[in-house]
Structure 1
């Protein structure tokens, strides 16, 4: 049911540029959740990285207008829209456009570091877990065709 609600949200007309950018960022976070969920079910190396972690984390805009939290439990990841009441860490981008651009950047680590230095990205919670999360993303890249 939630899947269909997401599709309906995507199909409704967008009123302005800001709303369109928010929708792109929401969609990116949703797809990230799908990819991590699949990897947690099918990729043994990804499951090993999850280990025995039992936590929630979230990616969001600073104003909280766009937020998605990810739940790690029993070597699986699931995600839900909205903010979590007590995430282990949160990565907050100054706005949806900046979040989308950062997560789509060719050199994501440089984009994150630049954003943290100029306060366009704020980390709330345990920074060591943020590094752990960034390590997970290497397992989400598409396999190269031979």
Structure 2
């Protein structure tokens, strides 16, 4: 449970850093007003507020978020959110119903674009002069 809570708190810190240091990320969130939460079925979770080009979060849940990611339990949530193949892990979790998404589908799609800013840059293969 503590790992899950820490991961959610750290998620806010990483996004704050990206917004401050990455102009593309700052443009992506500019003017966005969004409230969402990531939680377990048992009600453990965190609420995230994106407003005025900044993100903040608080422990606990609100009544009317625009969308919610609800994991079966904290262990599943941690495993899925910290998976190296995060997109595939999300899809598998949805199929197994270890993750249920409620709310505004367009906001969820926008959020997926935001999380792309947290991915490490892709390495490009070195130029192979012998190929020609």
- Structure 2 length as normaliser, TM-score? 0.85
Aligned partner of 2:4 in structure 1 is: 25
**Which has the greater radius of gyration?**
2
User: Between Structure 1 and Structure 2, how many residues are aligned?
Assistant: 123
Aligned partner of 1:131 in structure 2 is: 109
2:51 aligned with 1:76: no
1:142 offset after TM fit, Å?
Answer: 4.9
Aligned partner of 1:111 in structure 2 is: 89
Aligned partner of residue 71 in structure 1, secondary structure:
strand
Q: Deviations over 1:22-58 (max 9, x none)?
A: 0000000000011112222332111121132112111
Q: Which runs of 4+ in 1 moved over 6 A?
A: none
- Note the aligned Cα RMSD (angstroms): 1.7
Q: 1:57 aligns with which of 36, 41, 47?
A: 36
In structure 1, the gaps of 5 or more residues are 1-21
- Structure 1 length as normaliser, TM-score? 0.77
Higher helix share: 1
